[in-house]
A and B are shown apart, each in its own frame.
Chain A
Amino acid sequence: MLRQIGEFYHQGEKDDTSRVWMTCWHHGGRILASCGDDKAVRVWSLVGEPDSKLRLECRTTLDDSHARAVRSVAFSNDGKLLVSASFDASVVIYQQEEGEFTEVNKLEGHESEVKCAVFSKSDEFLATCSRDKSVWFWQQDEDEDFSVSSILQPHTQDVKQVVWHPTEDLLVSCSYDSSIRFYRYDGEDWVTQQKIDNCHVGTVWSAAFDAEGHRLVTVGEDHVIQLFVRENIDSKSADQDTWKSVARLEVENTRWPLYAVTWNSENDVIATGGGDSKIRLFKISSKSSDSPIIEHLGVVGSHEYDVNHVAWNPKFSNILSSASDDGTIRLWELEI
């Protein structure tokens, strides 16, 4: 079902590897950014065509911005900026011009390791989260500098990931405290819209919205994948609405956490990566929110060690990238 079409080492050669934490696709689908323990961010070009040999070629290495591992990397939605979040408690913004990336900003303020940094869909806001249990919202001001818009400390433990809604200014955060929280902008400040405690037994590692933003899946320490739906799709906007859990599936035959989840916006296939080094696919069997079932399509690929992140290509919807502790970024092709 999923065919590996390439394996690329983030750093150096096979014997000199270090963990890759994350990969992120540019909206055009032809550029990929990766980051890892080697404190560097790399930018790759996707060369080739889906029918002929597709491969990644490393174009740029950005390795002098961070003093510790880079945990997360993300493109802004317009592709002009790249943001990296590091264990050194800083967030760095790079500006892209004709394929060249330059560091333009360093955002400091988090007290400890920053786990994730992502731009909202309109690129108006940047959300960051950290082991210091807080979620920060930043906004770009006239000088192209970023200023802090709100600082929220809703979680009681490390916040692992923050994910933006595909269409509206709604953010969800996942934490080691087993809960997820939703946030919206009330015009002046960011406020907590909803809290869902005991989402998983243990850390909630990752979350992903579907293409329309009506549904959300989360994965966690307990190797469970859980589905949430918006309760009032017809009457409320996403940021004013509440979410409820409608289905959950515990992945059997594994005792390792699920670390990553990504929801394909074209074909609705959900991919996960876990501590058992495996990539799995899932599908939601019925679109109606009354009784959806999460179907496990099976283990479709694997790395040699933990899979930290998976991401569907936004343009070539059958292509998936994965990042692993084994130091590789792999490309996969979905064959239905």
Chain B
Amino acid sequence: MEDSGFSGVVRLSNVSDFIAPNLDCIIPLETRTVEKKKEESQVNIRAKKTKNEENKQKEDKKSVKISLADCLACNGCITSAETVLVEEQSFGRLLEGIRNSKMAVITISPQTITSVAVKLEKTPEELAKLIASFFRRHGVKYILDSSFARQFAHSLASEELLLTPSTSRPLLSSACPGFVCYAEKSHGDLLIPKISKIRSPQAISGALVKGYLAKKEGLSPCDVFHAAVMPCFDKKLEASREQFKVEGTEIRETDCVVSTAELLEELGKEDVGEEDVAEEDVEEENSWTTSLSRGIIIGEDGGASGGYADRIVRDFVAQNGGIVKTSKLNKNMFSTTVESSTTGEILLRVAKVYGFRNVQNLVRKMKTKKEKTDYVEVMACPGGCANGGGQVRYETMDEREKRLAQVEELYEALPRGNGCSEWMESVREEWESLDTNYKNLLFTDYKPVETNVAQTLKW
């Protein structure tokens, strides 16, 4: 279970726990019917059961279903089966989902594209076209760049920070599901109020697909299948959150998430080559739904983990001016300050914290109120998303380091802009006309999770 693709944070707290004899599943406590031991059962072995008795027995045995969402809650029990449930979000299921839908949309992360590009030794643009045509052949209508959804998140970030009083700072980025799951399970009181309520790009993409695209195309959300290809397995857990179901239904906004490595495996199976890239359809309008298929990838400053910290700094400086100073404490900890050009006073403190160990230290500092930053970009995986648990894996340490550096380089070189803000504006306008409350779909909330029963024991 060591290399299952989950981030260290989720692994430690969730996945690889095996059932201990005295740990009870906390979820079906309400639904489990205690089966009364029939005292006379031994006597009844040969006796014929009456029809009534049989029916009653059937009623008494309610089947207890445990879903993936429940599993986020608990610390013991069937977590080896939890991986089974997560493995349900497999490529096979993805293809099945496409087949059974009226419209299928795939969201791909730029981390995925750069990771596979490094492996297959192609440019990200070539690979984007390749992947798009692979999915088109399977019947997918739109292949989206998650960076587009991320633009929405970015556009809301500075305002959110402004509205956050200093007592509620640091504001913590919300894009990493490993961190969010960890915060909800441990230190819920301390961390949850401080996590940004802005949805992650995957979640915004889900809302775009099932809330906007579906309406636009006159389809009901249940007829639309949305899948995402992400750099980690934790995103599978994120997709199954209660908060990311279409309102009033049990339909997930993102039905299935597969990791970069799983996509690579599938591409390998079909032996996709350059000849297979479909001819560019000149008639097709260049917009956010077609950009990836045309090899146009949306790039961004600030690193391969979404550039949240960077965007906050840029927006701040655009508004207030100031001198930006960045220092790198180590591979996984960066600190940026914005100083007033006149007084030298520090106006803004932003940090990037990656990896479980640093998350632990961040939490400790926050507990003792020693953390002076305004905003922290938190990622559960050391190395950030470029090094996510679901990215393409290599055998040796050296190889891994080398390839990671290449992925980060490629990511950094992705072109900026690409018409993104116009597309975003026009989507906003149209979405508002379809749904006046669309803005709610750009935000989410968090719930602390009851820890396992054993913690409440008094011995």
Contact = CB atoms under 8 A, between A and B. Distances in A.
A111 interface: yes
A111 B360 contact: no
Contact of A151 (B12, B18, B186): B12
Given A148-B357, A151-B360, A112 B455 contact: yes
Contacts of A203: none
A146 B455 CA distance: 24
Contacts of B12: 111, 132, 134, 151, 153
Contact of A68 (B360, B364, B368, B459): B459
Contacts of A108: 364, 367
A151 B357 contact: yes
A124 interface: no
A109 B13 CA distance: 10
Contact of A37 (B363, B454, B459): B459
Nearest to A189: B357
Interface in A102-126: 107-109, 111-112
Nearest to A19: B459
A112 B454 contact: yes
A109 B459 CA distance: 20
A246 B368 CA distance: 49
B361 A111 contact: no
Contacts of B360: 109, 148, 151
Interface residues of A, number: 24
A148 B459 contact: no
B11 interface: yes
B174 interface: no
Contacts of B11: 153
A48 to B, nearest CB: 35
A149 interface: yes
Contacts of A310: none
A198 interface: no
Contact of B368 (A109, A145, A153): A145
A109 B191 CA distance: 13
A300 B454 CA distance: 38
Contacts of B431: none
Contacts of B368: 145
B455 A89 contact: yes
Contacts of A107: 364
Contacts of B75: 111-112
A63 to B, nearest CB: 15
Given A37-B459, A145-B364, A151 B8 contact: yes
Nearest to B14: A111
Interface in B4-30: 8, 11-13, 16-18
Contact of B459 (A87, A132, A147): A87
Contacts of A151: 8, 12, 356-357, 360
A147 B13 CA distance: 19
Contacts of A145: 364, 368, 370
Interface in B324-374: 356-357, 360-361, 363-364, 367-368, 370
Interface of A: 37, 68-69, 87, 89, 107-109, 111-112, 132-134, 143, 145-151, 153, 156-157
15 contacts: A68-B459, A111-B13, A112-B75, A112-B452, A132-B13, A133-B16, A143-B370, A148-B361, A149-B357, A150-B357, A151-B360, A153-B8, A153-B11, A153-B12, A156-B16
